[in-house]
A and B are shown apart, each in its own frame.
Chain A
Amino acid sequence: DAGVTQSPTHLIKTRGQQVTLRCSPKSGHDTVSWYQQALGQGPQFIFQYYEEEERQRGNFPDRFSGHQFPNYSSELNVNALLLGDSALYLCASSPRLAGGGPSYEQYFGPGTRLTVT
């Protein structure tokens, strides 16, 4: 049973460029959350998707956008990259509760290390 997968593993971009990161959730999970983790810090919530819609959003600018596909996989897009966007980007997937909402139980992928120069 494959866990959460993310691609690419590492990425180097230049200031002002745009980047797309990808995530495939764990089998049976339909909710995907994205987090940014700067060096030496805890993960910070960016946004969450289920049923192909953004359901919750953290304190991140509109340069950060996302998408969820019918197969539950997800993309994170960042426009106009800044040096401060250099971080580990983590994707986490969650199963749906019997009552219908997403579970608090989150499984993290290995992350994409983004370096902006």
Chain B
Amino acid sequence: GQNIDQPTEMTATEGAIVQINCTYQTSGFNGLFWYQQHAGEAPTFLSYNVLDGLEEKGRFSSFLSRSKGYSYLLLKELQMKDSASYLCAAPANQAGTALIFGKGTTLSVSS
């Protein structure tokens, strides 16, 4: 079956580092996405990993292990504006580009 799991909620303080984990099971594999969604807004693209390893983009990094069906999003130097839901997503199958999403991890950053 197809399934994406991630923690429901996480809390952290300003300036800290937080790691949001995601495990997935999909039909075939064509990469893994991370999106950020602020309350009441559209998801915005953060990263797309196809190969194993860590990809860094400013304060955000994303890691993928295809053999373990595992990814994480690493957020450094947390800011209050990072409070949002973080969605892990993967293509549903190799026949098209429809994405299946996890339920999202709500991150609350406090001062």
Contacts and interface: CB of A to CB of B under 8 A. Distances in A.
Contact of A40 (B4, B31, B100, B103): B103
Contacts of A102: 96-97
A104 B91 contact: yes
Interface string B88-103: 0101100111111111
Interface in B24-66: 30-31, 33, 35, 41-45, 48
A56 B104 contact: no
Interface residues of B, number: 25
Interface size class of A (residues with CB under 8 A): 20 to 34
B109 to A, nearest CB: 19
B48 A48 contact: no
Contact of A42 (B44, B91, B101): B101
B97 A108 contact: no
A68 interface: no
A93 to B, nearest CB: 11
Interface of B: 4, 30-31, 33, 35, 41-45, 48, 87, 89, 91-92, 95-104
